[in-house]
Amino acid sequence: MFKYTVKRFFSMVVVIWIVITVTFLLVHSIPGGPFTAEKKLPDAVLKNLEARYHLNDPLYVQYGDYLKNVVQGDFGPSFKYEDRTVNQIIEDGFPVSAELGLLSILLAVIVGIPAGIVCAVWHNKFPDYFTMFFAVIGVSVPSFIVAPTLVYFFAYKLPFFPAAMWEGPEYMVLPTIALAFGPTAMLARLTRSSMLEILSQDYIRTARAKGLSRLSIIYKHALKNALIPIITFMGPMIFGILTGSFVIEQIFAIPGLGRYFVTSIFNRDYTAILGLTIFDGCLLVFANFIVDIAYGLVDPRIKVSK
């Protein structure tokens, strides 16, 4: 297990380096520059700005300097936000996105997995049909439809919650539900299909023949084995939710990473685009790494071998 963990760690480093390289080349292939996005500057001023931030250096020199800074944990200054670095933007935006993400993950797990278990236990009965009806809606309807619908009914027609901002517990309800809507439906469907497969296995029939209770069969014998595909899905899901949804944060005016990322793209803020992309990429790679390690912890039958 130790050798496998070390091997996966070095593969993570390679993947992150590829992400940095590809993102750097793509960003610098965009027409224009960070100082030509808003208004036309005099040529002398533009040259001075490019010289100050070393944008007039050859591309390979910029790449080497940037790679050296990234290894040291420095993503550089922001071209859009004066007197702020990309590290400060991440420090300000990530806690907000993480708070929204953790609440959404908690809601998705608490509702989605039990809903899938109920559907599997009462397969082809009313609870199954009722739950899967809403699950299909959750999978089919995108978040940019769910969020305005929630705002219209629960902030405008029935003013139970604020329509925007992130200033207290009451502000968290609507964006949390909107962000968790799709993942909850996916978890319910995935748990249902996985549980149905497990409940048809021979050892489950043997457990029933021994007279074990339904609750004991579900939670002690079936659920643990059904968690493998759920864990596989939850790795990227957790990454996507924790880094924040661009759409949700824009609709609800939440000052998270997604909002900064969209702004940096519009303003061609090279360092902000690179820093946020690399940060998100590292989180995704780390989430997949945790998923691989979790396989052996959840199911002892899974062993790492040559």
pLDDT at 304 over 60: no
pLDDT of amino acid 69 = 92
Contact between 87 and 73 under an 8 Å Cβ cutoff? The reply is yes
List, as one string, the DSSP characters of the chain.
-HHHHHHHHHHHHHHHHHHHHHHHHHHHTSSS-TTSSSSPPPHHHHHHHHHHTTTTS-HHHHHHHHHHHHHTT---B-SSSTT-BHHHHHHHHHHHHHHHHHHHHHHHHHHHHHHHHHHHHTTTSHHHHHHHHHHHHHHHS-HHHHHHHHHIIIIIIS-SS-SS--SSHHHHHHHHHHHHHHHHHHHHHHHHHHHHHHHTSHHHHHHHHTT--HHHIIIIIIHHHHHHHHHHHHHHHHHHHHT--HHHHHHTT--SHHHHHHHHHHTT-HHHHHHHHHHHHHHHHHHHHHHHHHHHHH-TT-----
36-92 pLDDT per residue, tens = 655 677 778 778 877 887 888 888 999 999 999 999 989 988 887 777 899 999 998
At 301, the pLDDT band (50, 70, 90 cuts) reads low
CA 207 – CA 216 distance, rounded (Å) = 9
Structural domain spans, the chain:
1-306
What mean pLDDT value characterizes the chain?
Answer: 85
Contact between 188 and 226 under an 8 Å Cβ cutoff? The reply is no
What is the CATH architecture assignment of 1-306?
Orthogonal Bundle (1.10)
Contact between 77 and 264 under an 8 Å Cβ cutoff? The reply is no
Residue 246 has phi, psi (to 5 degrees) of -60, -45
User: What is the CB-side half-sphere exposure of residue 290 using CA atoms within 13 A?
Assistant: 14
Nearest to 184 by CA among 246, 79, 242, 112: 112
CA 127 – CA 304 distance, rounded (Å) = 39
pLDDT at 295 over 80: no
At 136, the pLDDT band (50, 70, 90 cuts) reads very high
244-258 pLDDT per residue, tens = 577 888 889 898 888
**Both structure tokens of 30:** 């965009």
CA 114 to chain centre: 22
Please, what sign has the CA dihedral across residues 139, 140, 143, 148?
A: negative
CA 107 to chain centre: 15
197-251 pLDDT per residue, tens = 888 888 888 888 888 888 888 888 888 788 878 887 877 777 767 665 778 888 8
Contact between 178 and 150 under an 8 Å Cβ cutoff? The reply is yes
pTM, 2 dp? 0.80
Contact between 281 and 16 under an 8 Å Cβ cutoff? The reply is yes
CA 181 – CA 141 distance, rounded (Å) = 9
